[in-house]
Structure 1
């Protein structure tokens, strides 16, 4: 679904004035590339630019419960919406370049009916649409024929996944497609890669049920947290090897979001404890030289190592060292407790920018120091519900 963006020009009709932000959003997220925030209420779904808050996309139909997709370029947009339809749900996938800001639609209906009363989230990758139910994940592709129909390509059963946890690879058109979701058994993570066909891999990620998952843009790494919410783990997608373990905190927490930076060097985590953590990913990419990777790891480990030694020495009579093997975050940003905040990395290259949005309308743009760490610097704050 793309929209006519006011001021873009080049269309034969002038779009109507942009509507206000949903006063009480029922759904909030970032677009896949973090160029837009997506807000929905019972009347509409809006894509708003994270830089200017101008309207990029608009879906005006009642009952929307979730949405996904990118709107940086309206001619290459890849968007989908989940909405209530009778006793169940339906998913509508909007074709690249289709306009609906002026009530012109070009979409494909995926699923629907009473048997789809448990759709929890939706993701897009190229012409594929990943529909997440409470107990399964369906992958649809667009038929190349004239029917413009959605075809079920893959169905994966999961365990209890009422939160709709699922991660899909990102990147430019033609990039590798993969997705990760909770496995059937508690603690398992299932990863599916497309390599001429779907290649499944089951990883024993945690002792407790997997509650949140993220995948790197190039589909090489996957990060997970369980319902306990204290430990975040990073695995290699190719073989499921555990590469890194990070400590979010000591107390049990509900993880609201996990996200990789586009270059896979950083991982951000938000939870109901009101603190956003940024971790450095100490993993060599396949393209990195051994020497260069070691130098990068040492430069960023210095801060974490110093902080760890200081912390352990201050309470060493209360713990065993093994409990603190997981790495601590490099940078943090403190917010209100018990408000759902979602996090993403900014699109400005080499600026170490973190974006945070909250269900209370909060929007923060922050910057972290990759060497010295500590509290992030707040660059911008606004409440988009008041616009």
Structure 2
């Protein structure tokens, strides 16, 4: 899931996008960012004193994968379950650093002419969002492939990058006042389609795992729409609420792409089920046609021409299949994952807690709380949930603006290779690490709580 995506960050009252927290709101000053990675297999939590990465491999425990004490980090994006992390600090908000946290080595760094608002990665591309431009890098060698310039002002860093290699798309706002969505092909480097998604400004967007669909929400937050990325056609219209507007914090597809979760500043997380459209007269298992709403849907579809347009649109909108009711008052992020063939809803909150809920994929309804984890203590210190793990701090920045080594120019490559420390990486090491991290895993079912599928980092 892109998590991820992916989606921006809030640091000392400054909103910079949607990758972690975003869209304003008061936050615990101890928390600077909080985000899931692309497939929600890990959670990154940061404070003004550093950040930590937790592996979400089980409903029973959290494993601390990495701990960093570098201060003033406001972006830290991990590439799936690899050891690559993209970091931006408050001290150098125009500089992106890609590090190998297992070896404590810096792989490369790039500087831009403006403050970085957000970073997204998949196995083929790394995209950096500035307020008025987007830089598309080939992630294997970090070369700039294309720059989308003069985009509408985007101070929140709102954009999305698909996680699928076949549908490697980038989405970003195409207008500053209305909800126009631009879909860009990052492989063939051309604008694929422009979608008039909403009347109001876009507030959230998220690609499906396959990358062929994208969900969007506006600043009003009452309706979520899902579009086809190939031709821009609207596939689903989902109703979060009828009258009460909301600030949408995150959208998240399930790994199978059949469920979509939405978290906001209200006390409810909504989960929608999207049935595949079919011409087969036999209803799908658990499809809306089996219940009263399905009957109403069929009736309205048959008589749509006889009803006012506004009434037809409202009746045709899908309602939440499942929901989570909570008492949280701050910013939150949600994700949907599959653990041992069961769909779980994850909810990370600004108070430093992670909640895990069970989602009944057949019956829906209220999701039951399975487990909750405290990630930050009362003294605003990030908790290490695994004893004995040593901190691995990245090497000191060299000031280089490329992927070259930080060793002095007087030292030859052979000398570096012969005399390197255990954690030091040569240029060849860096290339192979980037290559291995971006390799597509085998197409099989991964169980997030099976250690054999995710060996220790």
Which category of TM-score, normalised to the shorter sequence, fits these structures?
0.7 to 0.9
* TM-score for the superposition, normalised by structure 2: 0.67
Instruction: Confirm whether residue 39 of structure 1 aligns to residue 30 of structure 2.
Output: no
- C-alpha displacement of 1:120: 2.0
- C-alpha displacement of 1:367: 1.2
**Equivalent-residue separation in structure 2 for 1:128 and 1:320 (angstroms):** 43
CA contact (8 A) 1:35 1:347 kept: no
CA contact (8 A) 1:227 1:254 kept: yes
- Which SS does the other structure have where 2:118 is aligned? strand
**Equivalent-residue separation in structure 2 for 1:168 and 1:303 (angstroms):** 36
Q: Give the alignment's Cα RMSD to 1 decimal.
A: 2.8
Q: Give the corresponding residue for 1:85.
A: 91
Q: Give the corresponding residue for 2:411.
A: none
Aligned residues: 335
Q: Give the corresponding residue for 2:134.
A: 137
CA contact (8 A) 1:109 1:150 kept: no
* Shift in alpha-carbon separation, 1:271–1:307, aligned structure 2, 3 A: farther
Greater Rg over alpha carbons, structure: 2
- C-alpha displacement of 1:54: 2.0
Unpaired segments ≥5 residues, structure 1: 1-21, 310-318
Unpaired segments ≥5 residues, structure 2: 1-27, 298-309, 378-382, 384-457
**Equivalent-residue separation in structure 2 for 1:308 and 1:337 (angstroms):** 34
Instruction: Confirm whether residue 64 of structure 1 aligns to residue 38 of structure 2.
Output: no
Q: Find 2:114's aligned residue among 116, 119, 122.
A: 116
* Shift in alpha-carbon separation, 1:197–1:136, aligned structure 2, 3 A: closer
CA contact (8 A) 2:167 2:212 kept: no
**Equivalent-residue separation in structure 2 for 1:160 and 1:297 (angstroms):** 45
* Shift in alpha-carbon separation, 1:182–1:324, aligned structure 2, 3 A: same
Whose RCO is larger (CA < 8 A, sep 6+)?
2
- Which SS does the other structure have where 1:273 is aligned? coil
Q: Give the corresponding residue for 2:163.
A: 170
Alignment of 1:1-387 (within 5 A): 24-50=30-56, 51=58, 52-70=61-79, 72=81, 76-86=82-92, 88-94=93-99, 98=100, 100-101=101-102, 104-112=104-112, 115-117=113-115, 119-142=116-139, 144=141, 150-171=143-164, 174-185=165-176, 186-249=178-241, 250-284=243-277, 291=280, 295-296=283-284, 299-302=287-290, 305=293, 320=311, 322-386=313-377, 387=383
**Equivalent-residue separation in structure 1 for 2:157 and 2:131 (angstroms):** 6
**Equivalent-residue separation in structure 2 for 1:143 and 1:36 (angstroms):** 22
- C-alpha displacement of 1:44: 2.0
* Shift in alpha-carbon separation, 1:131–1:301, aligned structure 2, 3 A: farther
* Shift in alpha-carbon separation, 1:159–1:336, aligned structure 2, 3 A: farther
**Equivalent-residue separation in structure 2 for 1:300 and 1:136 (angstroms):** 42
**Equivalent-residue separation in structure 2 for 1:324 and 1:151 (angstroms):** 47
* TM-score for the superposition, normalised by structure 1: 0.78
- C-alpha displacement of 1:296: 3.0
